[in-house]
Amino acid sequence: MVLDLRFVFIGFLVIASLIPLYIYRKEIYKRFYKTGSIKAFLKDCEIYLVSNFPKISFDFNCYLKYENEKDIRIKETLIVEDFVNQFIAQEYELTTQNSIAKELLWGGYEANSRLIKDNKRPTDWAQRKEAAWNREAGKCNRCGTKTKLIDSQALLAKQMKDGGGFNLENIVILCSDCSKIIRSENKQRTAKDLNLTYNLMKKVEA
């Protein structure tokens, strides 16, 4: 009988100690995820996006869609995904570009501009790409970001199969992200593969 009473007492103590846990469960749960302001994160994203991608019109109010998300890391990740999707969704068409001054052209330019058999690129392709890159001051035609010559991609506005040649007017300079998007069959898979996604995710609260 004495033993039974002790068990009852211990049982009572166990239950009593669980009550505050139950009452304060929300407070305790909060410690597992990070809460706080995303103001600095949003400002940081805005400065980065506006200064690096002047041709893309981002909607910076998209964060309002994720107001109810309490975990700051999840919220910021959702906002990054939104920005990336906006970047991908930007309408764009490859179009003919400006000519460059005749004196900047080189010997064999005209002859090499015409389509060659087997759809091969002309021998002076690298020179053409560089001339087009210089014409654009190293900026991507789609998003406006500055891109190094080595990282840039030169695409034909009018495809070879449609009779497009290698004349400079037909060469468009894109950054690697935009060229991936244009060629992509699966935009969502491409989204994970973009430098933009990588750079924005670095800003998400660790």
Does position 49 bind Zn ion by CB under 5 A? no
Nearest-angstrom CA–CA distance, 106 and 45: 43
For residue 150, the minimal CB distance to Zn ion (Å) is 15
Residue 110, both tokens = 């005209």
Task: Report the residue number, 143 or 191, with the smaller CB distance to Zn ion.
Answer: 143
Nearest-angstrom CA–CA distance, 128 and 109: 9
Task: Report the residue number, 49 or 175, with the smaller CB distance to Zn ion.
Answer: 175
Neighbouring C-beta atoms of residue 189, cutoff 10 Å: 9
Residue 28, both tokens = 């305790």
Amino acid symbol at 150 = I
Task: Report the residue number, 131 or 175, with the smaller CB distance to Zn ion.
Answer: 175
For residue 125, the minimal CB distance to Zn ion (Å) is 21
- Which residue among 56, 143, 168, 181 contacts Zn ion (CB under 5 A)? 143
Does position 80 bind Zn ion by CB under 5 A? no
Nearest-angstrom CA–CA distance, 199 and 59: 18
Nearest to 38 by CA among 86, 85, 84, 70: 70
Q: What are the φ and ψ backbone dihedral angles of 128, each rounded to 5 degrees?
A: -65, -45
Nearest-angstrom CA–CA distance, 198 and 24: 38
For residue 127, the minimal CB distance to Zn ion (Å) is 23
Nearest-angstrom CA–CA distance, 112 and 109: 5
Task: Report the residue number, 79 or 88, with the smaller CB distance to Zn ion.
Answer: 88
Does position 178 bind Zn ion by CB under 5 A? yes
Amino acid symbol at 77 = T
Does position 88 bind Zn ion by CB under 5 A? no
Does position 175 bind Zn ion by CB under 5 A? yes
Task: Report the residue number, 90 or 113, with the smaller CB distance to Zn ion.
Answer: 90
Considering only 61-69, 85-93, 97-105, 172-180, which stretch makes contact with Zn ion by CB under 5 A?
A: 172-180
Considering only 44-52, 103-111, 142-150, 164-172, which stretch makes contact with Zn ion by CB under 5 A?
A: 142-150
Binding interface with Zn ion (CB under 5 A)? 140, 142-143, 175, 178
